[in-house]
Each structure stands twice: as structure tokens, then as C-alpha cells.
Amino acid sequence: MTHWTDDFFTGYWSVMQKAAPMSGVAAEEARVLRKILRLRKGSKVADVPCGDGRISLELARAGCRVVGVDACEPSVRRARREFRKAGLPGALHLGDMRDLQLPREFNAVINWWGSFGYFDEDTNRRVLKGFADILLPGGRVLVDQVNRERILRQFMKKGVFKYGEVKVTTRNRWDAKRQRINGSWLFERGGRRARRRSSIRLYTPSQMEALMESAGLTLERICDGTTGLPFTRGSQRMSTVGRRL
């Protein structure tokens, strides 16, 4: 059976990602992440999914030993190219976060920038358990999502954005029963267009705490991962940190 993630992140998304504002903020995001997760030189970090490696690269620059995993082949290729260009060590793998083929040797797992909640309830739980399973004792998992309360309060049914040459028109619907934000995306570039769908489960803080516990993790903190500030109803992001004892 196909899943929306099978073709969403290839093609137009990856072109858009290069031109989007997030490509310029990776260094600052990685700085805050290092602080939240108490990463040091030599810390072993799994960045899952790593996309085009923007965060992995900054962590590697700071001396972390990074393994990145992503299911999008063009993104992984780009990440490898950027590491080579920068002359930095790092392992970038094509892989599926639902079935991580990594040993238990990490000080931290980062699931950054709205990369959680893509699947059904059981699978999302399994993904988090997979992260917990590759942590050393004392290791931390950080899962970053949008702040659901804020998103629902300022719900944007339609949005039109321009990232470089790509125009994106999104239509969003909140599925209150399944607690998912369902998106319909129209990408347009030079007279060509493509439609894609997305569906993301948005969790409350207490639901994330329960998920962490079911994965064998202890909730350490919930904050806005872009600033490190405590989580409030006005925060842009909700970043949940769990620790393996």
C-alpha cells in the first residue's frame, strides 16, 4: 500500500527546501539543539530524518559524530555532497525511520523540524521506540513538532507561498477525530504543476509524554527547540526531550 510520504519529499519539495528560509537558520538551530541535548565534541548523534543534512552538517562542524538517515535519495545524495565539500566526517544513509538499522551507540537522536506523526498511531509509537532503542543509557531523544495549540488557534485553511522558482498553494483541514492536519499541496514551477497530499498527527504535550513513556523514555523537558525557551501556548515549536535512564 502506498503512503503519502512515498512521493511527497522528492521532486518539488526538495527544490523548495533549498530555497526556503530554513536553509539559512541551520547553524543557529544546531547551536540550540547542542545546548538542549548537552552535546559535546565526540557525542554520537543520529539525525533522523536528516533531509539534505543541514542540521547534521552543523553538528559535525561542532565536532559531533553524526549519522544521518533519510528516505529521500536526492536529499541523502545532497547531504553526502555537502559533507564532502566541507571535508567533514559523517555517515549519511538512505533508510526508513520505521525500521532503523543502527546499533545501540548514540548519545542523542534528533527528529527535527516536523518529521514526526507521519504514520498511524501504532507506527508513530514504533518509530519513537526505534529511536529509544539505539540510545546508550543517559542518551536523549528530541522530537520537534509544530505547536498544535497555536496552529489550531490560528488555523490557516489556505496559504500561498513562493520559494525560489516554486509556487506552493496549500489547503489544510483539521481532522478532529484522528487529530491530524491533512494538507493538499499544489506545486507550480515554470508552467508545470504537481499535486501532493500530507497527513500529520499533531500531539499535545501530555500525549507526547505518554508516548515517550511507552517507548521506555522519561520526559526531561518540553521547550521550543528553536530557542530553547520553555514551552508555552504561544511557542512556535514544541520540542519534547526524553531520556533513557
Question: Smallest distance, Å, CB 137 to ligand SAM?
Answer: 25
Question: Smallest distance, Å, CB 80 to ligand SAM?
Answer: 14
* Residue 96 is a binding residue for ligand SAM (CB under 6 A): yes
Q: What is the C-alpha to C-alpha distance for residues 156 and 179, in angstroms, rounded to an integer?
A: 16
Host H or E run for residue 243: strand 237-243
Nearer to ligand SAM, 103 or 190 (CB): 103
CB 22 within 8 A of CB 112: no
Closest C-alpha to 125, from 195, 203, 64: 203
Q: In this chain, which stretch among 71-79, 176-184, 220-228, 235-243 interacts with ligand SAM, using CB under 6 A?
A: 71-79
* Residue 198 is a binding residue for ligand SAM (CB under 6 A): no
Q: In this chain, which stretch among 90-98, 130-138, 162-170, 203-211 interacts with ligand SAM, using CB under 6 A?
A: 90-98
Closest C-alpha to 183, from 109, 118, 90: 118
Q: Which residues, numbered 46-65, are part of the site for ligand SAM (CB under 6 A)? A: 49-51, 54-55
Question: Smallest distance, Å, CB 159 to ligand SAM?
Answer: 16
The gap between the terminal CA atoms of the chain, to the nearest Å, is 37
